[in-house]
Amino acid sequence: MGNIYLDHGATTPMHPAVIAAMVAEMENNFGNPSSVHAFGRAGKKSLMTARTLIAGSLNAEAEEIIFNSGGTEGDNTALIETALAQQKFGKHIITTSIEHPAVIEPLHYLESLGFEVTYLPVDEKGQITVQQVADNLREDTILVSIMAANNETGNILPISEIGELLVEHQAIFHTDAVQAYGAFDIDVKKQHIDLLSVSAHKFSGPKGVGFLYKNKSVRLPALLKGGQQEEKRRAGTENLPAIVGMAEAVKILTPLEKKNRKHRYQELATKILVELKDAGIDFSLNGDPQHKLPHVLNLYLKGIHRDVLLMRLDLAGVAVSSGSACTAGTIEPSHVLEAMYGHDAPQVDESIRISLGYENTEDEIDQFLEILIAEVQRLKK
């Protein structure tokens, strides 16, 4: 039996078409897009083609897409530069207690500079309400940052309703869409989103590249200073092969492809839940089953410590996780599950995340379930 990869929430394998597009770009188009000669113009053409394609996927304009190194840079730019630029109008920021570290850490930095951050609590399903945002809005609120979907539970948060709420308010609305982009449709104009962060490696693109959508009406100084790239919005020579690869990954995600993947993930996820129940495994689902990404399952396996189970699954050739890959290798518990259940709740130490990908087969899921059920039963004894 080969290894089984079920940790697509951490990163995804690159699609073969993405690899082919990147190789072709590296072989045939090495010019710097900022150069004025023919080689540079060819590079700029590739850059603009990718920018236009990606903008179209969000109902944005090409000039509103800023290429960067991924979600962390996008979040840092959106939060830090917006706060510093808007501080004359106030220093209050609203976010949630379940954001990715790429959002939480920049906000902690801003707190050290004198900004005030309200962290909205979540209920036991890991959800917030629009009313919570409304209740905490103030005249001096300058920024609201709410993730589109949680990376650990898969919960989809009410960003459309929050965007609508903020239309008449001065606060700029940012959403970390790293886990959500490609899983469901996002329309930045209809949803009134001002800033949106995306990372290519979450949807079969290359690592180290992503983009920040910035509504053209938003004033946002560059986080990185230097050259004139990205219309002076992000200094540094663009990683053209990676950007082309990211655009190819976006091109693959047609409406039909997204629909088919969603249906497939729902089938496989249902199979996992049904077979665990039939095997008598004592478990429950963490998160909101009515509002969640179809490819993410966060399971509380009662009485089974996550670290021991993850080690045994890894030895058996199965890759799952206990939460965000950005906190992997540490002994820190999931801040998302702590926010949902409390610091001392058993769910914090006895939950694993299974995240599916387009290449996973039913046979793989059958093999995974056989291994998982056997290991849980063994550990129970």
Sign of torsion, CA 197 199 202 204?
positive
Which of 326, 345, 373, 379 is labelled catalytic? 326
Residues 229, 34 contacting (CB under 8 angstroms): yes
Active site residue 161: no
Own/partner long-range contacts of 44-52 (Cβ < 8 Å, ≥24 apart):
46/240, 46/243, 46/244, 47/238, 47/240, 47/243, 49/247, 50/243, 50/244, 50/246, 50/247
Cite the DSSP H helix spans in the chain.
Answer: 16-28, 38-56, 71-76, 82-86, 101-112, 130-136, 159-165, 229-232, 240-252, 255-278, 306-315, 335-341, 362-380
Q: How many CB atoms lie within 10 A of CB 141?
A: 23
Residues 326, 178 contacting (CB under 8 angstroms): no
Catalytic residues: 326
